[in-house]
Amino acid sequence: MNNQKKALGLILIFLGIVFLLENLSIIEFDFLRVWPLFVILSGLGFWLGYLVNRQLITFIMPGTLLLIYGFLFFYCGIFGWDMMSYLWPVFLLGPGVGFFLIYLLGDKNKILLWPAGLLTVISFLFIFRYLEYLRYWPSLLIIGGIILIFMKDRKVNTEG
C-alpha cells in the first residue's frame, strides 16, 4: 500500500471518529464555528500533498483557495456573517494568490502573472472601497488614466 492511500485512510478514520463521537453526543461541537477548520485542514492537505511531491503543482491552487476561504469563513463565523458584505473581494484574492504561488513555485511561466496581478488588484480595489480613511483612492485611478491618455509614445531607436 502506498503512502497516499495510507494518508487518505488515516484522514477518513479521523473524520469518521470525530463525526461518530459527535453523533453519539460524546463530544459536542459548535459546528457553526468549527466547520471552517475542516476547510482549512483540507487546504493544508493539498499543500502537504504538494510538499511531499513537488510535481503536483496543481495542488497549490485548491490548497490556497481552501486556506484563504477557510480563514475568511472562520473570521466571519466569529465576528458575524454580515462582515461578508465587506470581505467578499477575498473571493477574488484567493485565485490571485494561487496563480502567484504557482508562478513562484512552478516553472516561472509569466502568463500566470496576468491573472494573479489582475485578480489581486481588483480585490484590493474593492476592499479599499470600504475603508473610510482611503476615501479618495479613486483619484489615483483618474490620475493614472489621464497620464495614460496624454503620455506620448516613446519610439525605440533600433538603429545602432
Task: Provide the pLDDT for residue 138.
Answer: 75
Give pTM, 2 decimals. 0.70
The answer, yes or no, to whether residue 160 has pLDDT greater than 60, is no
What is the separation of C-alpha 39 from the centre of its chain, rounded to a whole number of angstroms? 12
Determine the Cα–Cα distance for residues 114 and 99; give it in Å rounded to an integer.
Answer: 9
Cα dihedral 14/15/16/19 (nearest 10):
130
User: In 3D, which of 36, 49, 40 has the Cα closest to residue 79?
Assistant: 36
Three-state DSSP class for residue 154: coil
Asked if 69 and 89 touch (Cβ cutoff 8 Å), the reply is no
Q: Read off the amino acid at residue 45.
A: G
pLDDT at 139 over 70: yes
pLDDT digits (tens, 9 = 90+) for 79-127: 889 989 989 999 999 999 999 999 999 989 999 999 999 999 999 888 8
Integer Cα distance of 63 and 61 in angstroms: 5
